[in-house]
Each structure stands twice: as structure tokens, then as C-alpha cells.
Structure 1
Amino acid sequence: MSKTISFRQEIRDFFVFLRKPRLSPRLAQQDLGHGWHTDWTNGLGVKRILQWAALLWLINMTVFGPLAASVATSSGAQHKLDFTNIPWKQAIIWAPLIEEMVFRYVLRRPSQFLWVLPVTIWCLFNGPQTITVSLLLVVVVLLYFRPSVGGDKRSLFTAVALGKAWPRRWYKIYARHFGWVFYGSTILFATLHLYNFKFNQINLWMLPLLILPQFFTGLVLAWLRVRRGIGASIILHAVFNSGPLLLIMTIVSLMPEAAL
């Protein structure tokens, strides 16, 4: 069993990682298995997940959130969220799963992008319908059980549906330019959240300021995906989303006039 590093050490590793994103070995954690299964197993524990969630809530509430709110107020941008009808299932279950699969899964599994990205992007833009939820679950099951499907046989199903490792030469090229992929995926993730606003007129330079909370949160989630696994980033994403929603639901239930 590997020695688990402290939360302070993880924070230090996060900021070091931001200076030069790399496909380095995972952080020390419990030995939860090997290969593809480990990617989905959350080795952080409840305490560490809550520590990261609390840090993100604190930074977003005290720094990036107020700045984004100030920009929204000054530009007349309005949030589309209906406080009297909060889609909590979509925010806590659907969004973390689909957004992590679209924007962060292939960061460490680039050989999967030819089939994972088209399928998950289609699910993302079609929303949490029965067919998209079912399809997404099928994708997750296929990816989780990949080591036990196909075996040593080079079947068409294994090659096309589940993908194979890239040739070493191509993987080296990907690793060399990984920083661009890391930051590019995070920018796209944050930009997606502009859809949450209604605009009248706004200067283009103000748009990035509106999504600073999502950008910073996306950096942490992308780092966690690379250094821990996709399971850890999905769980943290879900816990992070639950905090503001629970706060809003509590305020609305205690002060219904605040939602008007």
C-alpha cells in the first residue's frame, strides 16, 4: 500500500503541475487495482474530497465568484437558473458525469478520443434524456471493463469500440504538447458555462471574467483527473456542485421572497 500524501502536498503538486502540465505518474494512494480499473476507483476518501470541495467553495466565494457577479451586474448579464425550479439531479448527477467524460476523460486516455468524444459530445448537447443517459452508462461500463473484454484477441470490437494504445511515437508527440490539451480542454469547459447566461449587450473582453469560477474549478478537476483518475474528478465535481445548490435551496425554503 502506497503512502497517501497530505492535502498540503496535493495543493503544492497542483500549482507545480499548472506551471508545466505533464502525463506524470499518479499521486500516491491506496493500491486499488491495476490498469484501467484504477482510473475509475476513487482513492481519495471522503475527507480529501471534502477538503478540495471546501477549498474550491472558499476561493470561488471570496475571489472569482464576486468578480464574476460584479461583471454580470455591470454588463446586464442574467443567469438563466430558476431558483424556484432548480434541476438538482442534472447538476449533481448528470453534469459531473457528462462534463468529465467530454472534457477530461481523454486527457489520460488519448487513444479513446475517436469514439468517446463523439458519443459523449452528442449526449452532452442532447441533455439528460433516457437514450443519452443509457448510452453514457454503456460507455462508462465499456471503459471500466475494458481489460476483461477482448483479451489478447485483436478483435474488431476491441479495436474500434474500445480502442488500442497509440504507437509510442504518437504518444510522445501527445505528451510533448499535453499542456496545450490540458489548458485547451479547461477553457472549453469554462466557455460552455456562458450558456448559463442571458446577454443583452456585453463587451467581449468581459466574457472570460464571467466564467473565472468555472475555469479555476476546471483546472483542479483536470489536474485531479490526470493525477488521481476520472472517478475522483467526477465525484469532486458532483460534491462541488451540490454545495451551492443546497445553499440556494435552503435560502429559497426559508425566504421564498428571495427567489422572486
Structure 2
Amino acid sequence: MAGGSPEPAAESKRDQPRLRDDLKDFFRFLRRPTLRRFPAGQRGYPEPAGDWVPRTTMRRMLAWVFLLWGFNLLVLGPLALQVATSGGAHHRLESGNIPWVIAIFWAPLVEEMVFRYFLRRPGQGLWIIPLMLAPLLKGPVAWTVPLAALAIGASVWTQKRARLKGLSWSWGWRRQYVRFFPLVFHVGTLTFAALHLGNFTLNHTLIWLMPVLVLPQWLTGLVLGWMRVRRGIGASVLMHVLFNAGPVVVVLGVMKFAPQLA
């Protein structure tokens, strides 16, 4: 545009690391979670908008989603299925009443705000998480939708206000959070996985085997957490949407076009 500078892209193809670089960084992150961005020095939109603009490409997001689908289907899924069969547990998606709007759109947004937004914004997390618990537990009803919108809007506004006023963490608080961040990250991921036990009718499943049922959610939570820290909350929300959409679309398609297989 004449007379002005163009808006920066979230991440140019030239700046985009290879998938194997992503994988290397992901495994390094699992060993020692840190708060640095990836790739280092990437250019993007200024905060707070930059946190909501995915700092990666759709192609890369889909590559990660397909990797997760494949590993869950071939490795973790069979383990979970074996435990479910032995304990008589079954997933609620098997009931035929699939809340696809919740699964594809609502759950990814709300769950990311509860379980991963705070990873880079721990101060905001002190009030974001309590505000988003009702939308998480009650679903999209008349009063939780505006509550969720209010919480997200307030998070953007307070972040922008802090940036304009030059407010930031004290060095003491920053050091303590960085020190305990690995614990915060892994506890948050385990909590996210445990929440998904509510997706099952557990019947006679032994308590000590229940974690196996949510191994796919645990792995997915690790990747989403890495994506949130490295590429922003927008990237983790979008990836969560894509990840949920695949299985839901498949199940809905089977129920509609081949109900005898359901």
C-alpha cells in the first residue's frame, strides 16, 4: 500500500522450518519445556494480535494433524481399545448423538483457553481459567457463549493495555515461572487428558487402567501445548479444530452412508 508499510506475514515460507526441524524441537521441548518461540527470531504480527495469528502454515498444521492421527490410530488407539474392551468401556461418540459443533468448534477454543492459553500468560490465567470453566463444563448455552466471548475479549484488551503501558512481569516472578514451567506444562497436559475420561462410559474399567484410555489425548495435548508455546494460541486452537474435525466427520459419514457399520 502506498504511503505505508505492508502488514507482516505470520510466517513466510522462507522462515518456515522443515517438518523434521519441528520434530526435533518438539522432542527437545518434551525433555525440557521452555518458553522460547520457534523458530527463533521469527517475524509476525505484534502482540496481542500476534498470539492469535498462527505462526505457521496450514500445510504444516495438517502435517502434524496427520502424524497425530496416524500414531493414535496405529499405536495408542489399539492400546486404549484393548483396555476399553476388557472393562466394558465405550466412547460416547458411539451413541449416535454426536455434538459436532461442540466437538469441532466449541471444545477446541474453550479447552485451549483453559489448558494452554495461560502457558505464556500465567498472570491472565489466574482469571481466564475460572471464567472459562463454566463454558468448558456446561457447553455452549445461552449464558456461556457471551461469557466465553467476554473472557477472550478481556484477555486481548488487558494484554494490549499492558503493552501500551509498558507493564511486564517482575524479574523475580519471571525467574520462578521459568523454573517451574516444565512442571506446569506437564501437569496441565495430564489434566487435559484426564478431563477426557468424561467422554467414556467406563463401566467396570479398573482405575489403574483408566489413563490408558486417554493416551491419545495425552499425546495430542503435548503437541498442542508445544504448538501454543512456540507458535501462539491461534495455532493451537486451529490445530485442535483440525484434529477433532477428522474423526467426527468420519463417524458422521459412516452413520449417514453406511449405518450398518456403525
In the superposition, the TM-score normalised over structure 1's length comes to: 0.89
2:138 matched to 1:126?
yes
Higher mean C-alpha displacement, 26-35 vs 211-220: 26-35
CA shift, 1:150, in A, is: 7.2
CA distance in 2, matches of 1:203, 1:131: 37
CA shift, 1:254, in A, is: 2.0
- Give every structure 1 segment of 4 or more consecutive aligned residues whose post-TM-superposition deviation is greater than 6 Å: none
Q: Who is 1:197 aligned against?
A: 200
Q: Is the 8 A contact 2:47 2:160 kept in 1?
A: no
Q: Is the 8 A contact 2:89 2:201 kept in 1?
A: yes
From 46, 56, 59, the counterpart of 1:47: 59
Deviations 1:45-101 (A, max 9, x none): 211111111111101100111110111001111222245321110001100000000
Higher mean C-alpha displacement, 142-151 vs 189-198: 142-151
Q: Who is 1:86 aligned against?
A: 98
Cα distance change of structure 1 residues 168 and 105 upon mapping to structure 2, 3 Å threshold: same
Q: Who is 1:188 aligned against?
A: 191
Cα distance change of structure 1 residues 258 and 42 upon mapping to structure 2, 3 Å threshold: same
Question: Aligned ranges for residues 14-93 of structure 1 at < 5 Å?
Answer: 14-28=26-40, 31-93=43-105
Question: Aligned ranges for residues 93-108 of structure 1 at < 5 Å?
Answer: 93-108=105-120
CA distance in 2, matches of 1:165, 1:227: 20
Cα distance change of structure 1 residues 137 and 104 upon mapping to structure 2, 3 Å threshold: same
Cα distance change of structure 1 residues 153 and 38 upon mapping to structure 2, 3 Å threshold: closer
In the superposition, the TM-score normalised over structure 2's length comes to: 0.89
Q: Who is 2:176 aligned against?
A: 173
Q: Is the 8 A contact 2:86 2:205 kept in 1?
A: no
From 213, 216, 219, the counterpart of 2:216: 213
Cα distance change of structure 1 residues 258 and 9 upon mapping to structure 2, 3 Å threshold: same
Higher mean C-alpha displacement, 75-84 vs 224-233: 75-84
Cα distance change of structure 1 residues 106 and 80 upon mapping to structure 2, 3 Å threshold: same
CA shift, 1:128, in A, is: 1.1
Q: Who is 2:238 aligned against?
A: 235
Cα distance change of structure 1 residues 153 and 25 upon mapping to structure 2, 3 Å threshold: closer
Q: Is the 8 A contact 1:123 1:132 kept in 2?
A: yes
Q: Who is 2:3 aligned against?
A: none
Deviations 1:162-217 (A, max 9, x none): xx633210121111011100000000000000001112222222011010000000
Higher mean C-alpha displacement, 102-111 vs 123-132: 123-132
Across the aligned residues of Structure 1 and Structure 2, the Cα RMSD in angstroms comes to 2.0
Cα distance change of structure 1 residues 80 and 148 upon mapping to structure 2, 3 Å threshold: closer
Cα distance change of structure 1 residues 167 and 151 upon mapping to structure 2, 3 Å threshold: closer
CA distance in 2, matches of 1:76, 1:165: 51
SS in 1 for 2:93: coil
Which ranges of structure 1 fall in alignment gaps of 5 or more residues? 155-163
CA distance in 1, matches of 2:67, 2:165: 46
Q: Which amino acid in 1 is paired with 2:151?
A: V
